[in-house]
Structure 1
Amino acid sequence: MKAILLIGHGSRAKEAKDVFIKVSNGLQERVKSKVYIAFMENATPSIEDAFVSIREDGVRYVDVLPYFLFEGIHIKEDIPEILREMKEKYDVEIEFKRPIEYHELIIDILIDRLKGAGICI
């Protein structure tokens, strides 16, 4: 059984978590695998909490999808280290995907925000 773990940075702001959950629900509607969520810090569930749920559900393969724009320290070091620990502790196969980085759709989002702000383009 395969699943997706969507990892966000985390924030103490309730609105930030609400948006993240909305993104994960939207993702869940478009994929066949079950989507789990986790946060790097400042919110729950933690990455390890998510892996507890993942293993309880019998999942053996996890695609880890970081909801981060760039390859900062969390993507380069922190999350890979946690994932190494989770792989060993919970006996799961993990594939760590790339962060969002550049994508043409980001430009569309920015244009949409400009239009919403009443700015002529």
Structure 2
Amino acid sequence: MSGSLLLVAHGSRDPRHARTVRALTRGIRSTRPGLRVRTAFLDFDAPCVPEELERAARDGIRSVVVQPLLLTRAFHAKTDLPGVLRQAPPALAVYQAPVLGPDPLLTAALERRLYGAGLAPGERAGTGVVLAAAGSGDPEAAETLAALARHWQHTAGWYAVRPAAASGGPRTEDVVRALRAEGARRVAVAPYVLAPGRLPDRIAAGARAAGADVLAPVLGAAPELVRLVLRRYDRAARTPAPTG
């Protein structure tokens, strides 16, 4: 299977979200100059997904790999996006790639963000990390986040890694305080979110309110994310039977 790559983000009323997604798109284009890379949004921002699929068909593209810029499998990946993709032009073969997480490249990006925010690599053993996601009511998404927290703690040697959510889960500030009460010498908050917006701002506010020692920025257009998207594209492009 060959064709083009369509990145699909959630979208936000906050303009920082779209700017960050487009910065990621530019990073992918510059890394893979021969690849047609476009961006669409499920809500709030333009262009929408059907518009970009129609554009691909008009441009003579025969197949598209759609990469959700989502970190967990929840409503948008399971229901919302597949429903939109069913509206694709009949002549266009569409393959929905898996969501981005979990993946070692994402935890590598999270760690680099923490170190860039002031955490020293030698401080791992005494540092409790709050893995703070936007949040979801989907049980699978919540369990995926909890499993990622356990795995990251086990493999990286942190004092502890605990999940939190800006919506529908343990609040960032409560998890920061709990880690401090348990004996963590330092507490660092790692936002497990792609781009700035209302919910990431809530994560940051909770971290500051609870006195976290380190607050990392969002993942953004991290080079690890560029590599991960291209790896997912290459895997999807080798799939012999796309689904639409």
Between stretches 106-115 and 67-76, larger displacement belongs to: 106-115
Which whole-Å CA distance do the structure 2 matches of 1:55 and 1:78 have between them? 21
- Given that 2:54 and 2:89 are in contact with CA atoms closer than 8 Å, whether structure 1 keeps it comes out as no
Please give the per-residue CA displacement for 1:56-79, whole angstroms capped at 9, x wherever unaligned: 211110011111001111110111
TM-score, normalisation: structure 2: 0.46
SS at match of 1:64: strand
AA aligned to 2:105 is L
1:119 corresponding residue in structure 2: 119
Unaligned 5+ runs, structure 1: none
1:15 corresponding residue in structure 2: 16
- Given that 1:87 and 1:94 are in contact with CA atoms closer than 8 Å, whether structure 2 keeps it comes out as no
Which whole-Å CA distance do the structure 1 matches of 2:87 and 2:10 have between them? 19
1:95 corresponding residue in structure 2: 95
How far has the Cα of 1:87 moved from its partner? Answer: 4.2
Out of 79, 82, 87, which is 2:81 matched to?
A: 79
Which whole-Å CA distance do the structure 2 matches of 1:101 and 1:114 have between them? 18
AA aligned to 1:114 is L
AA aligned to 2:51 is D
SS at match of 1:98: coil
AA aligned to 2:94 is I
AA aligned to 2:104 is E
TM-score, normalisation: structure 1: 0.90
AA aligned to 1:38 is A
1:52 corresponding residue in structure 2: 54
SS at match of 1:85: coil
Unaligned 5+ runs, structure 2: 124-244
1:37 corresponding residue in structure 2: 39
SS at match of 1:18: helix
Which whole-Å CA distance do the structure 2 matches of 1:79 and 1:42 have between them? 15
Which whole-Å CA distance do the structure 1 matches of 2:89 and 2:73 have between them? 21
How far has the Cα of 1:33 moved from its partner? Answer: 2.4
2:209 corresponding residue in structure 1: none
